[in-house]
Each structure stands twice: as structure tokens, then as C-alpha cells.
Amino acid sequence: MIDCIVTTAGGVEEDFIKCLAPTYIGDFNLHGESLRTLGINRIGNLLVPNNNYCKFENWVMPIFDEMLQEQKEKNMVWTPSKLIARLGEKINNPESIYYWAAKNKIPVFSPALTDGSLGDMLYFHSFKNPGLILDIISDLRRLNTMAVKAQNSGVIILGGGVIKHHICNANLMRNGADFAVFLNTASEFDGSDSGARPDEAVSWGKIKKEATPVKIYAEASLIFPLLVGETFAREHHIKDPK
């Protein structure tokens, strides 16, 4: 049912970090200077201690070493999606989204994989054990070709930014997605891609002219489970009551 996932660097690394150490619920209004003094990083209303990223570094660096060795000895061409698959295998934790993606051979693309803690770790590794290369063009070819060869293409896009555009642009290669659901809180009046309505994507050929796309103005972590529960999951449980 799911052919691939496209996500941010944060969407990758925080999935693994939560398996290594807890993230805490805080408040949007907590004072940044006080948190900095305590060594706590705020992501919206979530709180991540600095030590979590230390644990992440200790976990991920040996994996980068293994990848570099394979690159040298086996001429392995690493891409962001292959790196994510390797990390999904290594985490070996069913609480991880990418554990299940790797287990089910679902590729996870992240065109801006260096834009976060993973990028920091790759930067550090480039000094500790230089030479690891990630081929972003191979991933671009892979994603765009998946869209081109799809009999039908449907997209569910949570949030916006580079991920939203990357998914839509892949569908430009096939003259548009057949089905599209956008779910975010952004408005179009600042000209951002995040806020752009589906009709703008139609004008580019990223969604088909005859499609009936929908944009839901809502918070994704609240609404997406409800959408899944009333559609894919509902049909699954009707077919397989167990």
C-alpha cells in the first residue's frame, strides 16, 4: 500500500533518538535561555536533553564506519535512502518507523538529510574517519522513476517545506498525481510552498487536472491518525477481523 516515504532529517533522527532515550512533553512558552542553561533543546512543546544526542552519536558513528568500509571494499554506493534503511535495520526496535520501513523494504527518501543532527554526525565523521559519500542523485532518480512508472499515484503530505515540494515534483515527471491530500496549518498568503493549495500544484502539472485533491487545515499529529483509522485501517480490520 505504501510505496515510499519522504521525510526531513529531523523526521529520521528523532525517530531513532526516541528509541535511545526519552523525549519529554513541555510547553511552547518555556524560556529558551533557561533551557539552554539546563542543556535542554525545545522542539515545539517537546523537550530533548543534550545527552540524547550524545547517545545518538555513540550509536551512529560505528555504523558510519561500517558503511565507509563497505564503500571502500565493496564499492558500495550509499544514498540517503540506503543509509536510512541501514539505520532502520540497526536500531532493531519496533517503536521505530524506519525499523518497519526497512523490514518491509519501503524506501525512505530524505533530500535534505544533512539538515539536522544526522548532518552534524556526518560532519563530525568526515573528520574522524573521512571518505563516506552519499549519492543524492541516485535517490532522485529512484523516487522520480517510481512516480513515472506508477499506474496510479496518490500522495498524502503531512506538513510542508522541501518534503512537500519533493513529493509533488516527483509527480510532475508523470504529469501529476491522481490523488492528493495535503494536511498542514500553513496559509498561502506568504507565498510559501508549505501554504500552497493543491490548485497551485495543478497549475504546475504536479497534480492531474481531473483530480479532486483536498487540503485539510489542521494539526497533523491529531488528524492523521483519525484519517488512517477511518480509511486504510478500517478497511483492513473489516477484511481481517483478527
- Catalytic residue set: 206
The DSSP result for 160-217, as a single string, is -HHHHHHHHHHHHTTT-BSEEEEEES--GGG--TTT--HHHHHHHTSB-TT---EEEE
Q: How many CB atoms lie within 10 A of CB 28?
A: 8
CA–CA separation, 69 vs 59, rounded Å?
A: 17
CA-nearest of 4, 38, 36 to 154 is: 4
Q: Which residues pair with 108 in a beta bridge?
A: 5
Q: CA angle, 37 as apex, 31 and 42 as ends, to 5°?
A: 50
Q: Which H/E stretch holds residue 109?
A: strand 108-109
CA–CA separation, 214 vs 222, rounded Å?
A: 17
